[in-house]
Structure 1
Amino acid sequence: MDSMDWIILKTIDAEKSLCKTAERLYISQPSLTYRLNKLEKEFGIKILNRHSNGVSFTTKGESLLAYAREMLEKFELLKNHLQNANDPIKGTIRLGISTVFAKYKIAPLLKTFQNRFPNVEVVLRTGSSTLQLPNMLQQDDVDVIIRRGDMGWAEKKHVISEEPYGIISSIPIEFKQLPSIPWIQDDTTTITQLDKEFYDWWMDHFFTPPPSNIIRVNSIEASIQMVSHGFGWTILPKMHIRNQRSILFYPLIWLDGQPMLRKTVMLYKNKSAEQPAIKVFTDFIINEF
């Protein structure tokens, strides 16, 4: 079994067809079948199930596929290491960035990074922290994500910043007044851990659920506009109101005196940490924050 066999197995898994695999790899279908038959004899197993609409891996074939994937990853890491041993760091990093972080933070960071590492290409995608970014990372559509809010993750994770989470209003306000003033909610976001924490904070202070006099809007920007025109209050991390002098910010404090904080985290897979371009980027972000 050699590197070409690894590539063949991985391509079959992607195409689910021997004909399409042969076309994609620019080899004849008889040559492809010959190599598969040779592999089956070498390992003494049946690798594929044939169907009228394509092929699928047998249980033992799946084990061989997993080995092929692992070997291709190791081969790529070795190649990158040897190529970059005495040369400037180069390569490509695919980033998934939360829409909010992209709006307020990423541009100056990327400018500094690319000045230091001009041979590293950065491919940037933005998306929602709750669904899109985790899916991108799980499906290997990106190498690294920076998302707003913590999440369970068994591989590489760094908290790169924490900021106050609080109530914003255009007029001076006391917390005891909140139940009688409309709460402006952004309906485009799903329930987050901070939403649950705010509910707990509210129950600690008022002993009854949050008010029903809610004004619902379809974006964070709309909620800020409604607040700035005096229609009520909303809850947001402080980042959203930077440079807006007409809006007041009241941090949420727990009864024990601890502030409620919004984390921004950087996540990536263990295998990515060994790639030079990704390593210099993640180290750069950690050092910057």
Structure 2
Amino acid sequence: MKLEDYELIIHLSTIGTVRGTAKHLYVSQPAITQRLRYIESYFHHPLFVRTSKKLLLTPIGEQIVEHAQEVIEKETELQTLLQSYGDQISGTLSIGASSIVSQQFLPSLLETYTSLYPDVKIDLVTGLSEDLRNPNQNFHVRLIRGEAMKDGENIHLLSDPLYLYDTKPFASGKERPLIAFKSDSTFHNLVDEWFLSHPSFKPIKSIQVDQIETCKQFMKKGLGMAVLPKSVVSEELHQYPHLPLTLDNEPLSRETWLCFQKNVRNLPQVDRFIQLVQNSNFT
């Protein structure tokens, strides 16, 4: 059994379908199916029951998934120990970063970091914060929005105030579409809570877009109002009507966190990145 086989077992059990796992790993479905057959023949037992909707773990499959998680954890501990030897800053730095952090803050951080430590290989995944929280994603560090991780170390980086923007002045009873960008549930819950407590601003419909930049451009063309964090607006603060979102006289904001497991600081390349982030200005 290869380490990749144990990782595949965990992905299949977490995602629940061959198709979804193949998409996540950027390989073909037949390749996943063929590898799963080999794994099940290796253990002489089926790991999953195939249904029309998803894969269900067998009792033996549950035990093997637990074993796979232990194998990967031990391998990570060994790699951490081996890479901690020596004075040269090298190795791999694995980062999971939310889309907004990747757009607004990460480029300058990585520019500085790679100039200081050119021998370090950067392994970067960007996306929604709720996807990056998946414990099966073996990131050294996570730069996420919303709530902090429930385990490990969390360093608060930024409180990002939310504003309601439009091209027209705000007025009570105003009926306008709401342009919403793809984000995690904690952000949408904040927005929904604000609109529930301010019924005079209730949108007449919702326009869904994929990226926050698309949302901003739609708003600037007068297609509707949009809730945007302060970090993604600059000249818009002076060019368009905007309203700070508050609940119970407290500003609504999106928190930004640096999250990691304490032992990863034993890796010099990870510790130097954490130090750089802590010394950077996120305001």
TM-score norm. by structure 1 comes to: 0.67
Count of equivalent residues: 236
SS of 1:114 mapped into structure 2: helix
Counterpart pick for 1:230 among 205, 222, 225: 222
- Tell me the residue number matched to 1:55: 43
CA displacement at 1:15 relative to structure 2: 8.4
- Tell me the residue number matched to 1:198: 191
- Tell me the residue number matched to 2:263: 271
- Tell me the residue number matched to 2:207: 216
Identity, % of aligned positions: 18
Alignment of 1:84-163 (within 5 A): 87-131=87-131, 133-135=132-134, 138-163=135-160
For structure 2, list consecutive stretches of 5 or more residues without a partner in the other structure: 10-37, 46-59
Counterpart pick for 2:251 among 240, 255, 259: 259
Distance 2:145 2:82 in 1: 34
Determine if contact 1:184/1:223 at 8 Å carries over to the other structure.
no
Counterpart pick for 1:78 among 81, 88, 92: 81
SS of 2:97 mapped into structure 1: strand
| Residues 120-163 of structure 1: CA deviation (Å, up to 9, x unaligned) | 222222222232x223xx22443222122224421122221111
Alignment of 1:175-194 (within 5 A): 177=172, 179-186=173-180, 188-190=182-184, 192-194=185-187
Distance 1:232 1:140, change over 3 A: closer
| Residues 162-214 of structure 1: CA deviation (Å, up to 9, x unaligned) | 1111111223324xx2x423132326445x223323333334444x8x63512
SS of 2:165 mapped into structure 1: strand
Distance 2:65 2:191 in 1: 46
- Tell me the residue number matched to 1:47: none
SS of 1:161 mapped into structure 2: strand
Distance 1:71 1:150, change over 3 A: closer
Distance 2:259 2:148 in 1: 9
Determine if contact 1:9/1:68 at 8 Å carries over to the other structure.
no
Q: Which protein has the larger Cα radius of gyration, Structure 1 or Structure 2?
A: 1
Task: Let me know the Cα RMSD of the aligned residues.
Answer: 3.4
SS of 1:180 mapped into structure 2: coil
| Residues 82-122 of structure 1: CA deviation (Å, up to 9, x unaligned) | 32xxx232221011222222222211111112222233222
SS of 2:88 mapped into structure 1: coil
Distance 2:192 2:121 in 1: 43
Determine if contact 2:145/2:255 at 8 Å carries over to the other structure.
yes
Tell me whether 1:287 sits opposite 2:275 in the alignment. no
Distance 2:229 2:245 in 1: 10
Distance 1:215 1:89, change over 3 A: same
* Counterpart code for 2:259: L
Distance 1:198 1:11, change over 3 A: closer
Determine if contact 2:166/2:222 at 8 Å carries over to the other structure.
yes
SS of 2:164 mapped into structure 1: strand
Distance 1:217 1:54, change over 3 A: same
CA displacement at 1:266 relative to structure 2: 1.8
SS of 2:142 mapped into structure 1: strand
